[in-house]
Amino acid sequence: MGKMFKKVLVANRGEIAVRVIKACQELGISTVTIYSEADAMAPHVKLADETKCLGDPTSTESYLNMNKVIDAAREFKAEAIHPGYGFLAENAKFAERCEKEGITFIGPGPKVIRAMGDKIQAKTTMEKANVPVIPGYHGEDQSDATLIKEGKRIGFPLMVKASAGGGGKGMRIVRKENELKDAIEGARRESKSAFSDDTLFIEKYLEEPRHIEFQILADNKGNTIHLYERECSIQRRHQKIIEEAPSTALTPALRKKMGEAAVKAAKAVGYSNAGTVEFMFSKGDFYFLEMNTRLQVEHPITEFTTATDIVKWQLRIAAGQPLTLKQNDIIQRGHSFECRIYAEDPENNFMPSTGLLEELKLPQAVNVRHDIGFDSGQEVTPYYDPMLAKLIVFGENREDAREKMMWALSNYVTMGINTNVSFLKKVMEMKPFIKGDITTHFIDDYLKGWSLTKGGIPDEVLVAVSIFDFLHKKTIDAGGTVQVVGMDEHTPWKSVGSWRIGQGGGG
């Protein structure tokens, strides 16, 4: 059995850095965290045992700077680096650097990261392993003529995708033959700009698609299991905002079949550590989409429904310890939802919102979990992803969990910046969502052009805001912090004499 690490550097920020630090603390591991100048007051900096400022807040000069991260690990004598998700988490070159430096990279090896990061290679590997893939063209000939020819062969509608893509970049839906050439050119340009790689592939576009993924755990001894599925179909701009476990679409037989396919996919590439096999599901059939070689944002709903701490297992496996869990040990129970709380404006095409997070109050209840990387009084900057936090709930069944999430969203208070909390609540109260009748097109189908005011702000809310604004005078200190300093001295409420509400005459 491998000996547990004494010190781990957490190469990330925000809520995922906090999550990893807490897992390390529970295992008795000392932590080092890195931060940029913009994150000097962030919770992950306060939580760690030791910290290192990497300077400039731009990602390339801080969290994406391999040399600075490696230097920090050496300076503080960290034995391992946990990359979280995003930034360097799926960077094969960084995993190789860690190997050369004698530092354990907490994740799969660089060969696996590279193989699964190339979507064309990944699909070819899965085809050989008899894992279902979406019909399409993944060939080396990238000429427009060949792509157009293959597109016609596959049939419409279809998807043109960037091989190195992610987050919806380099992706086009093509419904008619005369749209194909422009889609190829546009996807190629966008892919080249975003990923320095203009390789494309084409796939059949699935009708009424659902995005269902399976969590994998695998050790270095050949043991591989899955922790069942997560439904991630509620997306905006190809990014997930609400996830749940289990999926309402799967029967026990289908769940078993997909779980076995996920394990087969992981074994086909010699996978180790935590990972996720993503499938597209349409009308009873499922197809391999991609494999995420890292911890997923939505891992907490799996932790709730399987009573398994995925981050701790990442640490144990990376330290050389065997996976003692067997597939039969994993029982899926209850239901869990996760809502991603973004600093963004849903009424303005979900544009990021920056500024001072004046106030943050979180609802507290049984089986309500907050994974959060911000505090009240902290600046939300434009340098990083606008996700502030994750709100996760667990219930005895789906409706119990949904009601709990509705309550939690109703009592989630953020002041100073725009968030998507009201939008999330609207999604969860819609009849198709309540029925579990969801696809990846849900938001476009039901909530395109959504506006809070269209839904109607309750009169009592408008009255309360007006009274608060009238009664309180605000000042802004030198640091830009808004402070309420008390009742406006000119308010008539200061000179009402002996008059009191409810003490008038008459019967």
- pLDDT at residue 184, as a whole number: 96
Higher-confidence residue of 1 and 357: namely: 357
Bridge-partner residues for 357, per DSSP?
378
pLDDT above 60: residue 475: no
Average confidence (pLDDT) over 160-171: 82
Least confident of 101-105, 143-147, 427-431, 471-475: 471-475
Tokens of 190: 């966008």
With bands split at pLDDT 50, 70 and 90, how would you rate the model's confidence at 488?
low
Distance between CA 335 and CA 428 in Å, rounded? Answer: 14
- Tokens 């190829």 sit at which residue? 184
Question: In what helix (H) or strand (E) does residue 275 lie, and over which residues does it extend?
Answer: strand 273-282
Q: Which amino acid is at 354?
A: T
Q: Give pLDDT tens digits for 406-432.
A: 999 999 999 999 999 999 999 999 999
Report DSSP letters for 75-144, one per residue: HTT-SEEE--SSTTTT-HHHHHHHHHHT-EESSS-HHHHHHHHSHHHHHHHHHHTT--B-SEE--S---H
Distance between CA 313 and CA 217 in Å, rounded? Answer: 8
- pLDDT at residue 33, as a whole number: 98
pLDDT above 90: residue 323: yes
- pLDDT at residue 154, as a whole number: 94
98 contact partners, CB below 8 Å, separation of at least 6: 70, 81, 104, 105
With bands split at pLDDT 50, 70 and 90, how would you rate the model's confidence at 119?
confident
- pLDDT at residue 207, as a whole number: 87
Is residue 294 part of the annotated active site? The answer reads: yes
Q: Give pLDDT tens digits for 242-256.
A: 999 999 999 999 999
Least confident of 126-130, 324-328, 374-378, 495-499: 495-499
Q: Give pLDDT tens digits for 63-84.
A: 999 999 999 999 999 999 999 9
CB of 296 within 8 A of CB of 276?
A: yes
With bands split at pLDDT 50, 70 and 90, how would you rate the model's confidence at 468?
low
- pLDDT at residue 37, as a whole number: 97
Between vectors from CA 374 to CA 424 and to CA 428, what angle results, nearest 5°? 10
Kindly tell me the burial class for residue 328, based on how many C-beta atoms sit within 10 Å of its own C-beta (0-12, 13-18, 19 or more). Answer: exposed
Query: What topology is assigned to 210-451 in CATH?
Result: D-amino Acid Aminotransferase; Chain A, domain 1 (3.30.470)
Q: Give pLDDT tens digits for 201-256.
A: 999 999 899 999 999 999 999 999 999 999 999 999 889 999 999 999 999 999 99
CB of 4 within 8 A of CB of 316?
A: yes
With bands split at pLDDT 50, 70 and 90, how would you rate the model's confidence at 504?
very low
* CATH 3.30.1490.20, applies to 135-204: yes
Measure Cα distances from 79 to 35, 38, 106, 113, 183 in Å.
19, 27, 10, 21, 47
- Tokens 């354990």 sit at which residue? 104
Bridge-partner residues for 359, per DSSP?
415
With bands split at pLDDT 50, 70 and 90, how would you rate the model's confidence at 452?
confident
Annotated active-site residue in 97, 294, 316, 340: 294
pLDDT above 50: residue 507: no
In this structure, the number of other CB atoms found within 10 A of the CB of residue 422 comes to 17
Grouping H, G, I as helix, E, B as strand and the rest as coil, residue 48 is coil
With bands split at pLDDT 50, 70 and 90, how would you rate the model's confidence at 505?
very low
CB of 35 within 8 A of CB of 13?
A: yes
Higher-confidence residue of 194 and 371: namely: 371
Average confidence (pLDDT) over 49-63: 97
Tokens of 197: 């790689």
- pLDDT at residue 164, as a whole number: 83
- Tokens 């050790």 sit at which residue? 219
Grouping H, G, I as helix, E, B as strand and the rest as coil, residue 331 is coil
- pLDDT at residue 474, as a whole number: 56
Tokens of 402: 């949904």
- pLDDT at residue 194, as a whole number: 82
Least confident of 49-53, 98-102, 258-262, 474-478: 474-478
In the chain, domain spans: 7-106, 135-204, 210-451, 459-494
pLDDT above 90: residue 49: yes
428 contact partners, CB below 8 Å, separation of at least 6: 242, 337, 339, 402, 405, 406, 409, 434
Mean pLDDT of the chain: 91
Question: In what helix (H) or strand (E) does residue 311 lie, and over which residues does it extend?
Answer: helix 310-318
pLDDT above 90: residue 471: no
With bands split at pLDDT 50, 70 and 90, how would you rate the model's confidence at 196?
confident
Q: Give pLDDT tens digits for 272-286.
A: 999 999 999 998 999
Is the Cα dihedral 35, 39, 43, 47 positive or negative? positive
CB of 135 within 8 A of CB of 288?
A: no
Q: Give pLDDT tens digits for 126-140.
A: 999 999 998 899 888
First to last CA, the chain: 82
- pLDDT at residue 388, as a whole number: 96
Q: Give pLDDT tens digits for 5-34.
A: 999 999 999 999 999 999 999 999 999 999
Query: What is the CATH number assigned to the segment(s) 7-106?
Result: 3.40.50.20
With bands split at pLDDT 50, 70 and 90, how would you rate the model's confidence at 506?
very low
CB of 337 within 8 A of CB of 18?
A: no
